[in-house]
Amino acid sequence: MTVHIGAEPGSIAETVLMPGDPLRAKWAAETFLDDPVCVNQVRGMLGFTGTWKGNRVTIHGSGMGMPSLSIYANELIRDFGAKTLVRIGSCGAMQDHVKLRDVIIAMTASSYSTPSASFFRDLSYAPCADWSLLRAAAAAAEAKGSTTHVGGIYSADVFYDERPDLDEQMTRHGVLAVEMEAAELYTVAARLGARALAVLTVSDHLRTHEALPSSDRERSFGEMVEIALEAAFS
């Protein structure tokens, strides 16, 4: 039990899927896990542990943004023994060839700043995914016939950004999409010796201004959860 996670010892699995929204954690656990049990609800940040194909899995919310994600990733790894953390969430596409509902597997995650930036002082650290998870997720997505893109993303530290010049340069340099958590997840996992990956669903598009209606999101996000689970246990 920690300040932010009220789970009992042993109730968190070594494999943790981390959506930002705690209610999405509840939906994913009830949809994909056998016998899910709520193991945390401190501050409304829900976490559930169950099994998937006989493997223990925890699905735990991370909250929005890197500071919130950093708290939960640190505690899950250091205090509860999590060894594999996979972010499952939505993102905004930044390339014309990336479409709504496509799946993005984040090889790297650029950022303007993260909660871990002070560790590196003047070094521009390059957060990247665990190779074994990345390879397994790409294979799982291919086997499912998913429209998938593997490459770099951008983790923003603000949602309402006003830097069109930065967006333009990221698009120019091939950044696939923007979200708000992966860069810190990759950094924390590297520091503490865990594996990490982000598997994302495109819910909106920064260039075309398209967006998935809420009624379509749940069905589209299910594909992402399946890919994440397959990758974690390959």
Residues marked active site are found at: 204
List, as residue ranges, the binding site for a purine D-ribonucleoside: 4, 179-181, 203-204
Looking at residue 44, its amino acid is G
- Beta-carbon contacts of 219 under 8 Å, excluding residues fewer than 6 positions away, are none
Tokens 């398209």 locate to 210
Adjacent-strand bridge partners of 57: 50
Give the span between the Cα atoms of 176 and 162, in whole angstroms.
Answer: 19
Residues within the annotated binding site? 4, 20, 24, 43, 87-90, 179-181, 203-204
Distance CA 219, CA 118 (A): 39
What's the first-to-final CA gap in the chain, in angstroms?
30
* Contacts of 165 by beta carbon, 8 Å cutoff, 6+ apart: none
**In this structure, are residues 192 and 115 in contact, taking their beta carbons and an 8 Å threshold?**
no
